[in-house]
Amino acid sequence: MRYLLVEDNADLAAALAGRFALAGHVVDHADCLTDAELATRTTDYDLILLDIMLPDGDGRSFLKRHRAADNPTPVIVLTARSEVSDRVGLLDLGADDYITKPFDYTELEARVRAVLRRLGGAAANTREFAGLSFDSTTGMISAAGCSEQLRNRETRLLEVFFAAPGQVFSKSHLMDRLFSFSDDVSENAIEVYVGRLRRKLAPSEATIETVRGLGYRMVRRE
């Protein structure tokens, strides 16, 4: 998953980015509304974590423009405001959830998972396809009585395919989901990760198929 973190507190931003990166997510950081607007114009995100009090304005104005533009990317607001009216106002503006500062990182991570589950129409972190069970929280896959632990980027890659079985994803899209702008890797890295996943999916009927000239898709093995 690729997240945009809009937060002007450098220490908090570094801690959050590091925490999500450990789980294999890509986090782009913007410390002001101007950079956040630029980031959303140039990159598609799976989730936005939005602070309210920013040096060049109020995050609520960003949220209002974000929804007015029919941008479906979910937004979780990080706010120091604890009044009920503030929280109601944020939800009415289009926030998908909020968390009040200071917060526990594990609670934020759980809220992120809940928002993304709702977006994908899933009720639980574990999903199934073609005899394959996949827990996106733990990175554990199970099939035919065999279980295996995926590495972080393998987990994030399989998460993309599980979100839309049968849909073709280009190499550039997968690169965008797995690597940040600062990662010095080529698209060949995607071939490596797809190859690893294929081997680990072998006990199930699920496989990742190459669609020549277009990319990859997860399908039921024939």
**pLDDT above 80: residue 124:** no
Work out the percent of the chain whose per-residue pLDDT is above 90: 80
Work out the average pLDDT over 142-166.
93
Which is it for the CA torsion 63, 73, 15, 113, positive or negative?
positive
Helix 171-178 crosses helix 188-201 at what angle (to 10 degrees)?
90
| CATH classification for the domain delimited by 126-220, as one of 3.40.50.1000, 3.40.50.300, 3.40.605.10, 1.10.10.10 | 1.10.10.10
Which is the CATH superfamily of the domain at 2-120?
Answer: Response regulator (3.40.50.2300)
The reply to whether 126-220 shares the fold of 2-120 is no
How is the chain split into domains, by residue range? 2-120, 126-220
* pLDDT single digits (tens) 15-48: 999 999 988 899 999 999 999 999 999 999 999 9
- Rounded average pLDDT over 182-209: 93
pTM: 0.85
